[in-house]
Chains A and B, each alone.
Chain A
Amino acid sequence: AQSVTQPDIHITVSEGASLELRCNYSYGATPYLFWYVQSPGQGLQLLLKYFSGDTLVQGIKGFEAEFKRSQSSFNLRKPSVHWSDAAEYFCALQTRPGGSYIPTFGRGTSLIVHP
């Protein structure tokens, strides 16, 4: 069975600083990978996704993520954090056609941004 681990429950950064949120997965092949963001009181919104091809994917709001097969990781990055980025971030995995169509979500990382 597949799994997603987000090792950091909380991350605190200063506004303007760079950000990296970690995501590790366990799956026997290359999965589809996603990052979602949940602002307070809102549902989850897709930031970016990786299916194949270029391992560095660009998303909305200036975020990017890099798929590293050798490390089973899909870390989310942003060069300069804005106060409005404070939110909960979820990494998710979905197996390719032939497997379950149900995504597996990590537990989430809460991003706190200091002024």
Chain B
Amino acid sequence: DAGVIQSPRHEVTEMGQEVTLRCKPISGHDYLFWYRQTMMRGLELLIYFNNNVPIDDSGMPEDRFSAKMPNASFSTLKIQPSEPRDSAVYFCASRGPGLTYEQYFGPGTRLTVT
């Protein structure tokens, strides 16, 4: 398996623009998580899905952020409009069924909003 795939790896955009981050989880995994990592706040859970259904989005900073999972092999995190304070590394992670609870992280998308 190729692991969790995220695209793009780097994104530089101007304030006010829409940004879409993409994630392909490991095949067969039924949980998908979106995290944001910054120096100031560490690793923050934004939202997670179980079987493509959003379960908890309480970590989403504000209405400018939205996430979707239209099928088991694809998820997006969208920021519209983007702001400089959204600059961070965004990780997607997936987890398989059963009782192992191990999360598999993608390589992350480094977002810079100027």
Chain A residues closer than 8 Å to B102, beta-carbon distance: 34, 46, 49
Residue A44 at the B interface, CB < 8 A?
yes
Residue A73 at the B interface, CB < 8 A?
no
Residue B105 at the A interface, CB < 8 A?
yes
Q: Which of A38-85 contact B (CB under 8 A)?
A: 41-46, 49, 51
Chain B residues closer than 8 Å to A22, beta-carbon distance: none
The size of the chain A interface, using a CB distance under 8 A, is: 20
User: How big is chain B's contact interface, by range?
Assistant: 10 to 19
A112 to chain B, nearest CB (A): 16
Chain A residues closer than 8 Å to B31, beta-carbon distance: 101
B26 to chain A, nearest CB (A): 12
Closest to B42 in A: A107
Q: A41-B107, A101-B31 are in contact. Are A108 and B43 (CB under 8 A)?
A: yes
Q: Which residue of B42, B43, B56, B105 is within 8 Å of A102 (Cβ)?
A: B56
- Please tell me if the beta carbons of A102 and B103 are within 8 angstroms of each other in the complex: no
